[in-house]
Amino acid sequence: MPTRQRSEQRDRPSGTSALAWAGVIVFLLILLAGVLVYIFTRPPQSTPGNPSVSTQNAPAPPVVIVSPHMLLGNPSQATADPSNKNNFLMVKPYFCLGYNNSKGTPNWVSWRLTAADLGTAPRKQTFDPDDSLPAGYYRVEHRDYVRCGFDRGHMCPHSDRGANQEMAFATFVLTNIIPQAPNVNRKAWERLEAYGRDLALQHNHLYIVSGPAGQGGVGTDGPASTIAGGRIVVPAECWKVIVVVPEGATDDLAAINAGTRVIAVIMPNTQDVGEDWRPFLTTIAAVEQHTGLHLLTNLSGEMAETLRQKLDTGWR
Amino acid sequence: MELADKLNILKAASEGLLYPSESDEPFKVFCWPRETGQTAQDAVRIHGGAGEPVESVPVDGFFAALTDSDEADRFAELRTALEQVVPDFVDLRAGRINVSVFLIGTATDKWLGLQTVSVET
C-alpha cells in the first residue's frame, strides 16, 4: 500500500500550509464582499437598448425597451405567457401587439414609423392566419371576414411597411386586423395614416399605438356586435395615438418632452365617418379612459401627464 | 364561338366568386363596343369609369396572388375561361383605395372581360 500512504501524507496539511490556506480564504471573502457592495450600491446604468428614465423627485426603475416598436410602453402589461389568452404579448419584427383571443382581435398594436420604413413594396390580396399564436388559440382566417359588411382593417398599415416585401406582407397577418366599417377604413382612418407617413417623410420618427374599443359597429350590412359566428368582436370605436419625435436624437425616448406633439383620435366604427380625421381628435387621457389602457408607461409621470392632456393643433 | 357563348362562359366562371382584398368584391362581366385604334386603356376610361392613371400589371401576378385563396381552384378555372374567350386579355388597374380592376381583352368588335374592385388602404 505504498501509494495510499503517499496520498494520505499529501492530503494531511501541515501547520504552516493550513495557515496559508486560511489566509487565502479570508482574502477571497473580502474580495467577494467588495464585489457585492459595488453591485448593490452603483447607480443605474443607461444604455442605448435599455435607457433609464429619471424624474425630478426620485430615481425611477430602469425602463425595459422590449422592442423599438414599444418605446412608449406596454399598454396593457401584456405577457408572452400562453395562458394569458386575452392579453397575450406578441413581439414581432415590424410591430408588436397585445392579442385578445376572446375577441379575435388585438387589444392594441404598437409600432415605430420612420421614412426608412416607406416604399412601394407590393400588397397581398389574401390575409394570413397568425401561425405564431400558441396552441389552443383560435386563429382567425381570411374567410372569417367574407361577406361580413366590415373591412379587414389594418392597425399597422401596409403602406407604413412598404420598404420591402417581407415587411409589407407581414402586415397582412390577421392578428394585426380588426373589423372596420368601410367608411372608416377607406376614409378618415386612411387619411390619418397617410398624414402620419407625410410626417415621417418630414424628418420625424412616429411612435404609434392603435386598436379597437367597445363592442358593436355599423358596416355595409347594418349593425353588428360580432362576425364569424361570434369569434370576432366588432368594435364600437377605433382609436389611435401618435407621438411625433423629430429625427436626430440619439435616444428618442429621452427626446420626448412636454412640448412633443401628440395626436390622438377616437372614431366611431360606423358608416357615418367621412374623409376628415380632425373632428375625431381627442386626448391620450380620453383614449386611456375609454380603453383602460396605459399608453405612456415608459415616460416619467409628470411629463406623461402633460402629454396625456394635450389636444393636437399641429395640423393647422 | 358566338359572343353570347363567350359572355356565358365568363359569367359562369365568375358567378359567386369574390376578389379578395381588405374587402371581398364580386366580378361583373362587361362587353363594350370597340372603336378602331382604341386601346384597352382608352376603353376602361370611356366605358369603365376609370380615372387616370390606368396601370397595366402582369396577368401572372393577378393569379399568383390568389394561389393561397380558399377559392384558388375557381380562380384557376377563371384564368382558363379568360384564356379561352379573350386570349389577349390584360390586367388594368385605376384609382386608389377603391382600386378598379379590369381583366380585358378583345372579341372581334368588342371589349370583353371582367371588372372588380380591390380595397387598398
pLDDT tens by residue, A108-145: 999 999 999 999 999 999 999 999 999 999 999 999 99
- Output the average pLDDT for chain A: 88
Q: What is the pLDDT of residue B82?
A: 98
Give the architecture-level CATH label for domain A68-308. Answer: 3-Layer(aba) Sandwich (3.40)
A147 Cβ under 8 Å from any chain B Cβ: yes
| Domain housing B65 | 3-120
Q: What is the pLDDT of residue A50?
A: 39
Q: What is the pLDDT of residue B51?
A: 87
Show contacts of A250-256: CB within 8 Å, 24+ apart: A250/A48, A251/A48, A251/A51, A252/A71, A252/A205, A252/A207, A253/A51, A253/A53, A253/A63, A253/A65, A253/A71, A253/A298, A253/A299, A254/A51, A254/A53, A256/A299, A256/A303, A256/A307
Does A126 contact B69 at a Cβ distance shorter than 8 Å?
yes
Segment A175-198 shows an average pLDDT of 98
Q: What is the pLDDT of residue A49?
A: 35
Q: What are the E-state strand segments in A6-141?
A: 88-91, 96-100, 105-113
Q: What is the pLDDT of residue A304?
A: 96
Q: What is the pLDDT of residue A5?
A: 41
CATH number for the domain that contains residue B7: 3.40.1460.10
Q: What is the pLDDT of residue A103?
A: 98
- pLDDT band of residue A52 (cuts 50, 70, 90) is very low
- The answer to which of A14-18, A222-226, B14-18 has the lowest mean pLDDT is A14-18
Report whether B75 contacts A126 (CB < 8 A): no
Q: What is the dihedral of CA A211, A214, A215, A216, to 10 degrees?
A: -90
CB-closest option in B24, B69, B119 to A186: B119
- pLDDT band of residue A315 (cuts 50, 70, 90) is confident
Segment A264-292 shows an average pLDDT of 98
Segment A223-243 shows an average pLDDT of 98
pLDDT beyond 60 at A247: yes
Residues of A serving a catalytic function are 154
Does B69 contact A125 at a Cβ distance shorter than 8 Å?
yes
pTM of the model: 0.85
- Output the average pLDDT for chain B: 97
How far, CA to CA in Å, does B61 sit from each of B19, B78, B92?
Answer: 14, 14, 12
Identify the DSSP state of A119. Answer: S
Q: What is the pLDDT of residue A34?
A: 58
A305 Cβ under 8 Å from any chain B Cβ: no
Could you tell me the end-to-end alpha-carbon distance of chain A, in angstroms, rounded to an integer?
A: 99
pLDDT beyond 60 at A8: no
Candidates B17, B23, B57, B116, partner chain A, best to mutate (most A CBs within 10 A): B23
Q: What is the pLDDT of residue A23?
A: 67
Within chain B, which residues score under 50 in pLDDT?
none
Taking contacts as CB-CB distances below 8 angstroms, the residues of chain B near A142 are 20, 69-70
- pLDDT band of residue A48 (cuts 50, 70, 90) is very low
A85-124 residues touching B, CB cutoff 8 A: 123-124
pLDDT beyond 50 at A45: no
Report whether A207 contacts A72 (CB < 8 A): yes
Taking contacts as CB-CB distances below 8 angstroms, the residues of chain B near A123 are 21, 120
Q: Which residue of B has its CA nearest to A160?
A: B121
pLDDT beyond 70 at A292: yes
Helix (H, G, I), strand (E, B) or coil at A107: strand
Q: What is the pLDDT of residue B40?
A: 98
Q: What is the pLDDT of residue A37?
A: 52
Segment A30-48 shows an average pLDDT of 51
Helix (H, G, I), strand (E, B) or coil at A110: strand
B26 Cβ under 8 Å from any chain A Cβ: no
A172 Cβ under 8 Å from any chain B Cβ: no
Q: Which residue of A has its CA nearest to B65?
A: A125
How buried is residue A39: exposed, middle or buried, by Cβ count under 10 Å (0-12/13-18/19+)?
Answer: exposed
Taking contacts as CB-CB distances below 8 angstroms, the residues of chain B near A154 are 22, 121
Helix (H, G, I), strand (E, B) or coil at A66: coil
Candidates A125, A127, A160, A183, partner chain B, best to mutate (most B CBs within 10 A): A125
User: What is the tally of structural domains in chain B?
Assistant: 1
- The answer to which of A45-49, A209-213, A229-233, B13-17 has the lowest mean pLDDT is A45-49
A268 Cβ under 8 Å from any chain B Cβ: no
